[in-house]
Chain A
Amino acid sequence: EDQVTQSPEALRLQEGESSSLNCSYTVSGLRGLFWYRQDPGKGPEFLFTLYSAGEEKEKERLKATLTKKESFLHITAPKPEDSATYLCAVQANSGNTPLVFGKGTRLSVIA
């Protein structure tokens, strides 16, 4: 069974304090790993897709990396507007399989 575990569950940072969120996964052949951001009262918003180990993607203060067992979302010099829940999802490489989501990391950035 495909599984995604995200850690920590919650993270509180001071503005400018860089950190990383972790996403560990087990999947029977990885088609892709996806990062989403979810603000309170909103639906998730797509951030990145990673397909193979060693791949990196960047967007503003966010950088996502991928290994064979986990992915990291690095947040450099975060701002209060980066506060959100960050969700990781994987998709297996077998037919039309749905995304399997982790429970997310709730990030709070304090000014």
Chain B
Amino acid sequence: KAGVTQTPRYLIKTRGQQVTLSCSPISGHRSVSWYQQTPGQGLQFLFEYFSETQRNKGNFPGRFSGRQFSNSRSEMNVSTLELGDSALYLCASSSQGTNTGELFFGEGSRLTVL
């Protein structure tokens, strides 16, 4: 069974640009959550999508947005990038959503903002 796939794995952007990250969940999983991981803050919740609906949103500015498609694949977008957005962005899928707590994570997309 294929795991969670995130693309791209690495990317470098400059301040003011925007970026789109993609996540393909495990087949059959309808929930996709996104987390930002930095050395100082650890893992912080961005948002969760379940059957194309945003079910939860963390405390991030409106520059961070996401969506989920009918095949459960998800994308997140960060506009007007800032230096502080440099982080590992992790996607996690689950068959039932965050209710179970058992999330399957991808390997992440490492974003560097210069």
Contacts and interface: CB of A to CB of B under 8 A. Distances in A.
Binding between chains A and B: yes
B98 A98 contact: yes
B49 to A, nearest CB: 12
B46 to A, nearest CB: 9
B42 interface: yes
Contact of B98 (A45, A49, A91, A102): A91
Given A91-B101, A98-B48, A99-B103, A43 B42 contact: no
Interface residues of A, number: 22
Nearest to A4: B42
Interface of A: 31-32, 34, 41-46, 49, 87, 89, 91, 96-104
A43 B107 contact: yes
B55 interface: yes
B43 A98 contact: no
A43 B106 CA distance: 5
Contact of A96 (B44, B58, B98, B107): B98
B108 interface: yes
Given A44-B90, A87-B43, A104-B42, A96 B101 contact: no
Contacts of A32: 101
8 contacts: A34-B101, A43-B90, A49-B100, A49-B102, A87-B43, A89-B43, A96-B55, A96-B56
Contacts of B97: 96
A98 B92 CA distance: 12
B45 interface: yes
A104 B42 CA distance: 8
Interface in B31-49: 33, 35, 41-45, 48
A43 B4 contact: yes
Contacts of B48: 96, 98
B108 A99 contact: no
A42 B103 CA distance: 14
Contacts of A102: 42
A43 B92 contact: yes
A89 B90 contact: no
Nearest to A103: B42
